[in-house]
Chain A
């Protein structure tokens, strides 16, 4: 794995609270990195990844606060990072806000679209709630009669 892809996985783990194992298991990580490159361009993607790599090795609240101030609260990177979270959770790239486009310039590929049919199916949202994407990965006859099995949060190695 290239260090660029490593950094992409790292920031994805940080933002989604799903493990590398879960993220690689979707089979979509490379395509999502390629989606970022395609929509906002390699330069902004690299800036985002560099901001993640430069995060202080803090844990807990301090780490969350660092992500907020240097990534999610960054005027250039915040909306891109939020789009990345939504992409992982739903398989859909949601068009960046107008304010971002006005300030940093429109990107031709920046429309709301589903990356691929399997991207919808692999959306993390469904996994987070112990359900399954509507229309796929059916849990079996009668399973709905039982309480949901909501997966516990993984022990994330945020320093990795």
Chain B
């Protein structure tokens, strides 16, 4: 798909500041901002989008530079394609270390105030975290919207599944979800009459199939209920084979790579096994695809309705004391990522949308002194807790091939046990132990340096060691807790003088109970598969958590939520069910931060669906 050439012209900061009032000013070019920009532009509204990153990756050449950076990076962590930029810094997990009791570590962008150290990340670059997401797109379950009423845990949403269902379909269309309805009808999930996903499901990997062979037909008992085991395919935001039955038989046209010039790649996933951190061909959705549609409206309208100002970091929100509305936004526009030199401009709009992710949006509010009537800005921080379990299968499984994850064990996403412990969804990682151990590089080092293999023995050794790897990643439910939070403090600032986020987090007991069960569950699965368990959790690990006499290394899931939670009143929440701020009627805080709970669904599909809802509310407000 084409970006109109003019969309890549850098908007000029002075022109932006002088151009009077925009209908909508959006902070952040991730999926939330992109959807709202597109919906608004199609309704003829004038939109300014601010992006903290350089915006260089809007062209294919700039995107490919990220890939080259990834190839050249010694540590291939999930932010490795994205160059360092002190003016729009982002968390990077290899920099973390364990904290001593009471200690705060301010050496990384997110100040880790503990006691748990989170390696959660988000990407401050054009396209936001959709530039590095894994693109699994499960819907939340009906029960996930009412966990307080059903299980006495967490909070109820002010929205029901039924109210969001149609927007799920819009989000699935926008992202281009590949899945088969028949594979997604577990745990009571239903789809209306003739609904099909835009594209057919991606096939399960050979590794998934080997695991399934070992467990299908078996079950586990938990709290008096039996759960059958099976490897089920995940719905995915990456291009597969279009389903001709989609949209009442109209079919679906996959959107591949976007650029200012004609480009034909990414129309279908090629199996690069690199969804995270970067799909080399853009077969995986990123929000640039939605923005390309938004920019295309400019050409049709014959005027520039959507403008993108990159290298523009929102710094302070100014409120009109008379009516509580947002009057303007102070923005620092830097010239060069290598220098903190910047000019400060003020932008004005009728409506402001903060779509900078759950941590940056809360940070901007708090740095502006806006805690909200409820005092809940920054609180209730959630992120899925991951517990990794890894083993060697008895047979060669062809690990290291496929998309990052094609299937998993998802039947324990729901059940009465949620009254006492967290639910989980398990991903099978097609890239083997990579996440847990740094495989396959760590295996190579061990085989050469410690096991003294060379020649044919080494070749046989790597096959034996790598091609049998199985990693089960347990994505555990985390419930909202007001003491898990983001704060700011003027003593911790970034290169531009903006306050950095401070993260305080304790993994809730509810989650740890789920983790402890998850570890036992993994051992049961490994036993059924005849797989050798290699899992070990190092007490020196930055994410090490002790629970009931055992230790577990808990990883962040990059599914950030809760920091401007949605609710029914201005005293129990920050935003209403349309993601509009209770306190500031022309301000929308959108994205994962609005979610009162996250269940066991990766958050992007749900927050995308909510942004369609918010778009309608914003347009209504502007009329």
Contacts and interface: CB of A to CB of B under 8 A. Distances in A.
B448 A128 contact: no
A134 B68 contact: no
B206 to A, nearest CB: 6
B467 A130 contact: yes
B268 interface: yes
Interface string A134-160: 111011111111111010010010000
Contacts of B209: 145
B401 interface: yes
- Of the candidates B76, B268, B459, the one having the most CB atoms from chain A within 10 angstroms of its own CB is B459
Contacts of A153: 456, 459-460
Interface stretch (A1-9, A30-38, A47-55, A89-97): A89-97
B454 A144 contact: no
A138 B270 contact: yes
Interface residues of B, number: 54
A94 B301 CA distance: 56
Given A86-B448, A136-B272, A131 B72 contact: no
Contacts of A67: 454-455
A43 B76 CA distance: 33
Given A145-B209, A150-B463, A64 B455 contact: yes
B430 interface: yes
A130 B73 CA distance: 23
B271 A142 contact: yes
B74 A113 contact: yes
Nearest to A15: B454
A40 interface: no
Contacts of B281: 138
Interface residues of A, number: 49
Contact of A144 (B68, B70, B430, B466): B430
A86 B441 CA distance: 9
A138 B72 contact: no
Contacts of B403: 144
Nearest to A118: B71
List the 3 closest A-B pairs by CB distance, nearest first: A144-B402, A148-B398, A138-B270
18 contacts: A14-B454, A14-B455, A15-B454, A17-B455, A92-B74, A120-B71, A129-B399, A129-B462, A130-B398, A131-B467, A132-B271, A136-B274, A138-B272, A142-B271, A145-B209, A146-B398, A148-B206, A148-B467
Interface of B: 67-68, 70-74, 76, 202-206, 209, 240-241, 268-274, 278, 280-281, 396, 398-403, 406, 430-431, 440-441, 444-445, 448-449, 452, 454-460, 462-463, 466-467
